[in-house]
Each structure stands twice: as C-alpha cells, then as structure tokens.
C-alpha cells in the first residue's frame, strides 16, 4: 500500500472545465430524479443543505460558488422532480488518475432514499469513463456508520485514520477505492 502522503503530490492541475448544462444520468430514486452538474442557480440550495446537515458547517454560499468555478472541481447535484435540489457531491480531479471526494451531503428530509449512493456512483462513473480515474480518496467521520457502510458497499476500504481531524475533535477515517480492482458487481457496472 502506498503511503497516504504520496496520493497528493504537488503538481499542476490541467484538466479542462466541465460544461454545466449537460445531464449525467436519469435515475429512479422513489420518483424520477435527475443527477446533473451543479449550476450557479443551485448555490443557495447547496448552502442550505450544508447548513441543515452541519449547522455552521463546512460550506457557505461563497465557498460553494468557488467550487463551481474551480477548474479541477466537479460538483454534481440530485434534482427532485419538483425542481428541489436534494443532495450534492464535490470532487476534485487530481491528475493523472485520482479523484478526491471532498463533500457529499443530502438534505435531512431526503436521506435513506439512495440519493447519496446515486451521487457517489455518478461521480465515480463519470470520472472513470471520461478521465480514466483509477483511485478515489475520501475521509469520513468515524461516527458516521451509515456513510462508512455506503462507501464500503461501493468498494472503498479504510486505509487510515486522522486523529482529531474535525473541529470538534472527532477522528476521520481515510478510505480509498481502486476502480481497477472493484468487483464487477460494484461501482463501475452500476446502472445509475
């Protein structure tokens, strides 16, 4: 296993920006929802999801806007049939072949409906197909058993722990997924 520090070498980010008007997938999550790239009009909804998920949390509207403009960032949302954005995922491309999941959040009223899984799989499928991503990295709160279970089902494994990583002193579990070695019943062949 590579040392964790080797996953984030200092290098220039050359990946082209994505077009924001392109739908990625249509999926069935209770009623038909659209998984699509985020747009500037989504910023208030994404900031509200963050605040509902983690009051005073990680991302405010200005930070969300920065990610939409960041060349290496991919921001994907779940839009419900009524037009409400119910969840989002933020990933960074790390050339040549890595992806880092920075944020995955779902509105509390839409949890346990498969939205987080759909967002994760959409991001992984998109990156593997379009940019030949092979390694995906993330950190998750040690107490977030539901998220850890979801990541494990998607093919992630725990590779380390960052002690007192979060502002409240909680540890982060470091996880990664080698997309070249995920069983065929998992991420890459998922129908989303």
Pair 60, 47: CB distance under 8 Å: yes
Q: How many CB atoms lie within 10 A of CB 83?
A: 8
DSSP at 19: P
**Cα dihedral sign for 53, 57, 61, 63?**
negative
Q: What is the dihedral of CA 66, 156, 15, 9, to 10 degrees?
A: 90
Has 98 been annotated as catalytic? Answer: no
Catalytic residue (choose from 39, 69, 139, 152): 139
- How far apart, in whole angstroms, are the C-alpha atoms of residue 26 and residue 42? 18
Has 7 been annotated as catalytic? Answer: no
Catalytic residue (choose from 67, 79, 98, 151): 151
- How far apart, in whole angstroms, are the C-alpha atoms of residue 115 and residue 111? 7
Which of the residues are catalytic?
139, 151
């Amino acid at each position: 296993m590579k040392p964790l520090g080797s996953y984030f070498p200092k290098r220039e980010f050359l990946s082209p920006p994505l077009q924001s008007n392109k739908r990625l997938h249509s999926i069935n999550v209770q009623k038909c929802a659209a998984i699509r790239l985020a747009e500037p009009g989504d910023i208030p909804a994404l900031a509200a999801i963050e605040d509902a998920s983690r009051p005073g949390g990680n991302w405010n509207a200005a930070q969300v806007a920065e990610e939409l403009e960041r060349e290496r960032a991919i921001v994907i949302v779940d839009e419900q049939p009524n037009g409400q954005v119910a969840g989002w995922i933020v990933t960074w491309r790390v050339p040549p072949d890595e992806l880092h999941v920075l944020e995955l959040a779902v509105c509390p009223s839409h949890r346990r409906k498969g939205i987080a899984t759909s967002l994760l799989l959409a991001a992984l499928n998109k990156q593997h197909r379009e940019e030949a991503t092979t390694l995906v990295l993330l950190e998750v709160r040690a107490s977030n058993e539901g998220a850890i279970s979801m990541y494990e089902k998607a093919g992630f494994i725990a590779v380390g722990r960052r002690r007192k990583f979060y502002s409240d002193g909680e540890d982060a579990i470091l996880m990664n997924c080698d997309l070249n070695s995920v069983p065929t019943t998992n991420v890459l062949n998922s129908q989303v």
